[in-house]
Amino acid sequence: MNKLTTAPPSELSLQKKLFQQIKNGLGSHLSLVEEVADLLGISTDSAYRRLRSETPVSLEEAAILCKHFHIALDEIIPQPQEAVIFRRFSIHEQALTFADYLRYSREYFEKMRLIKHCMCYYAAKDIPVFYHFMFPPLGKFKLFFWLKTVKGVPEFKNLPFSFESIPDEYMKLSNAISDSYFQTPGVEIWNEETTNSTLRQIYYYHEAGLFADPAIPLALVDQLEQLVKHVHLQAETGQKLLHTATPAAVPVKFELYHNEVLLLDNTILHQADSFSSVLVSYNAIDYLTTTNHAFCHEVYRWLQIQMEKSVLISKISEKERNRFFNKMYENIKQHRKKMQEQR
């Protein structure tokens, strides 16, 4: 498990701090010098001189670099301890912006995947949405629910859900996000309420008559059961699994904890040897993100405390693992039975 240091880099010039921050978040397959040269439209020799602080970076150049690499000012310029600068990515009330939200999410999770030795921690109040996209009918329902019920996008106001409601572009972007997540080693903390959000959403649409076909809700419940079985198998093997429920060519570590104490909050922490980033959820599905060192360390400590108060049920604790998942299967069974009786 990666350790988070308690102090940011010190005794560095602002220019060196800028390039150190860029380097920390740069994928191992990319060359820092070439990236800087391409972005600033300068030669590699000129880029080297800036990296060595022999040539000062202009304000305009710094702005270009910060914008491209998503670096906030508080990562470079010391701020009051209480101040944290966040970047947001959210779904607005216009359907056209949803693709932008998905693209930004894809770029973010792909960037995290490419960082060497990066570990993803997820405090799961709800099923991590990435799992839904492995089961297309369920993924389409989740996207539709966000647009219609959570964000109230006008184009979806009077539209019942069908599998044709979601454009192919949305699913392609969502699948790309999911692929990056499942190729990043991770720790997830679940509790017995984690599956209830999706179940309640399906049941709400069922009762409200918001499905175009009455057979859809039961099909979605079946898909949800398959999703839980997939997570169950990951917990047994201790590996993240691909769409075919088989391990990746290079095993991707997976740890699952059962927390009986708290209702979690869908916070996500990505952490590597010299880099960390936090996603904090708000408005149900929108996120604020920051790489503020002190804030990330605070989140890391909170996650460690929750893990200490939880039971590790991946690879070990077979009895506890089966007990945990059997409760989820039974809950799904009861919702299925209730919907069958109401048809």
- pLDDT for residue 3: 43
Give yes or no for a contact between 34 and 78, defined as CB atoms under 8 angstroms apart: no
Q: Which parts of the chain have pLDDT scores under 70?
A: 1-12, 25, 27-29, 73-75, 78-81, 93-96, 244, 248
How many angstroms separate the CA atoms of 250 and 243, rounded? 15
In angstroms, the Cα distances linking 287 to 41, 72, 177, 230, 284 are: 33, 16, 15, 26, 9
User: What are the tokens at 284?
Assistant: 């149900």
What domains, with CATH codes, occur in the chain? 14-75 (1.10.260), 87-342 (no CATH)
Q: Is 21 helix (H, G, I), strand (E, B) or coil?
A: helix
Tens of pLDDT, residue by residue over 94-119, are: 555 888 899 999 999 999 999 989 99
Dihedral, CA of residue 77, residue 273, residue 305 and residue 71, to nearest 10: 30
- pLDDT for residue 188: 98
DSSP one-letter code for 239: B
Work out whether the CA dihedral 290, 291, 295, 297 comes out positive or negative.
Answer: positive
Give yes or no for a contact between 292 and 80, defined as CB atoms under 8 angstroms apart: no
User: What are the tokens at 4?
Assistant: 């988070």
Residue 8 carries which side chain, given as an amino acid letter? P
Q: At what angle do helices 136-145 and 168-182 cross, to 10 degrees?
A: 110
Residue 315 class from Cβ within 10 Å (0-12 exposed, 13-18 middle, 19+ buried)?
Answer: middle
Secondary structure in 3-state letters for 238-249: CECECCCCCECC
- pLDDT for residue 336: 95
- What is the residue whose two structure tokens read 């590996």? 239
- pLDDT for residue 119: 97
How many angstroms separate the CA atoms of 304 and 35, rounded? 36
- pLDDT for residue 105: 92
Q: Is 6 helix (H, G, I), strand (E, B) or coil?
A: coil
User: What are the tokens at 92?
Assistant: 């607005």
Task: Give the angle 277-281-106 at the CA atoms, nearest 5°.
Answer: 60
Q: Is 156 helix (H, G, I), strand (E, B) or coil?
A: helix
- pLDDT for residue 9: 41
How many angstroms separate the CA atoms of 325 and 287, rounded? 29
